[in-house]
Amino acid sequence: MRLPAPVVRYWTRGISPEILSEANYPSLYTYRFPLKVGLRILRGLSRTVTPCGRVGSFGRTALGLHGSALKRWHARVWWANYATELCKSLVVSGKRADEVFALLRPVDWSPLERLLATGNGVILVSAHIGVPQVVSALLCRAGRSPLRLNRWGVFQHPSVDVSQRENPGYLTQLYARAYYHLKAGGIVTNAPDGPFGRTFAEAEFMGRPVQISRAAVALARFSGASTLPYLVRWVGYRLSVEFAEPIGPHAASPEEWDRRWIQEYLGWMEHQIRMYPEVLRFALAYL
């Protein structure tokens, strides 16, 4: 359903043009509406935004888009970014998470279940693309709380004392706990493209130099756990949880192991961005 323009104007009255820029958050202005209505308001607004800033530059330089093709691509990216931020806020708050879960297509958990059936733990890796928090929330609801390699307390495994996250030794304790959690057949999650970590590797992503956290790749190498990339992406107004092929383990030297792991991870990430504009988020550090 496409909302008529007068309806969009009525519901968004009083919103200044500056709010539609990348630096502001239109999703906050649709929070008060039912989710399905908010998504359609954002869709209407997306057609009014001119490609600019980091996202417009990324479309031009990394994807080679120009003119009307760039404008159509940017409208899809802009809508999905703020639709994603809206869903994220609803899931994290916990008060309206069911509205987000109602958008989910049936989830095929078999790729994860097959790896867990071997008795080893699994490292679920995502990135700052797609809709975050959904899989962690679903796992918590199913009684399989993941141990998350980040500083946030939301959906974190109950064994982690997040009140200590500002202490210098928190990272070391978290990595050690993650190692034993994997050895016990548990699930660890991480987004290696983010800023959380102690050491980082230099790599190239879509023609530009980037840094990637070594936390997940080191855990995979030391623990022998498989790494399973996953993504929650928009398909129209529905959400789809999708798993990729597992990464590793590789029989190689530590340096070669890390290189192959990072290459496979970034290759998966690039494929998603090129195939599905709606997975791109303004929070992606690689823009």
Provide mean pLDDT across the span 255-281.
Answer: 93
Write out pLDDT tens, residues 172-228: 888 899 999 999 999 999 999 977 777 899 999 998 899 999 889 999 999 989 999
Reduce the DSSP state of residue 69 to 3 states and report it: helix
Q: Which residues pair with 124 in a beta bridge?
A: 189, 228
Q: Is residue 286 part of a domain?
A: no
Q: Where does the pLDDT of residue 28 fall: very low under 50, low under 70, confident under 90, or very high at 90 and above?
A: low
- Is the domain of 227 the same as that of 135? yes
Mark which of 57, 77, 100 sits at the end of a domain. Answer: 100
- The residue that leads in pLDDT, 232 or 47, is 232
- Is the domain of 111 the same as that of 228? yes
- Is the domain of 141 the same as that of 206? yes
Q: Is residue 272 part of a domain?
A: yes
- Is the domain of 210 the same as that of 89? no
What pLDDT does residue 9 have? 55
Rg of the chain taking only CA atoms, in angstroms: 20
CB 245 within 8 A of CB 154: no
Q: Is residue 287 part of a domain?
A: no
- Is the domain of 146 the same as that of 126? yes
- Is the domain of 139 the same as that of 269? yes
Q: Where does the pLDDT of residue 93 fall: very low under 50, low under 70, confident under 90, or very high at 90 and above?
A: confident
Q: Say how many C-beta atoms besides its own lie within 10 A of residue 249's C-beta.
A: 16
pTM, entire model: 0.88
Q: Is residue 14 part of a domain?
A: yes
Q: Which helix (H) or strand (E) holds 189?
A: strand 187-190
- 49 lies in which domain range? 5-100
Alpha carbons within 13 angstroms on the beta-carbon side of residue 207 total 8
Least confident of 151-155, 231-235, 273-277: 151-155
Q: Report the share of the chain in percent with pLDDT over 70.
A: 90
Q: Is residue 120 part of a domain?
A: yes
Q: Where does the pLDDT of residue 23 fall: very low under 50, low under 70, confident under 90, or very high at 90 and above?
A: very low
Output phi, psi for 83, to 5 deg: -65, -40
Q: Is residue 198 part of a domain?
A: yes
Mark which of 71, 100, 129 sits at the end of a domain. Answer: 100
- Is the domain of 143 the same as that of 236? yes
Mark which of 100, 123, 148 sits at the end of a domain. Answer: 100
- Is the domain of 223 the same as that of 264? yes
Checking if the pLDDT of 283 tops 80, the result is: no
Domain count, the chain: 2
Q: Is residue 285 part of a domain?
A: no
Write out pLDDT tens, residues 37-82: 989 988 988 888 888 788 899 999 999 999 999 999 999 999 999 9
Q: Say how many C-beta atoms besides its own lie within 10 A of residue 44's C-beta.
A: 18
- Is the domain of 133 the same as that of 208? yes
Checking if the pLDDT of 265 tops 90, the result is: yes
- Is the domain of 83 the same as that of 225? no
Q: Which residue has the tokens 């509406």?
A: 33
Q: Which two tokens stand for residue 171?
A: 């990272």
Q: Is residue 127 part of a domain?
A: yes
Reduce the DSSP state of residue 242 to 3 states and report it: strand
- Is the domain of 188 the same as that of 70? no
- Is the domain of 149 the same as that of 249? yes
Q: Where does the pLDDT of residue 18 fall: very low under 50, low under 70, confident under 90, or very high at 90 and above?
A: very low
Checking if the pLDDT of 284 tops 60, the result is: yes
Checking if the pLDDT of 17 tops 70, the result is: no
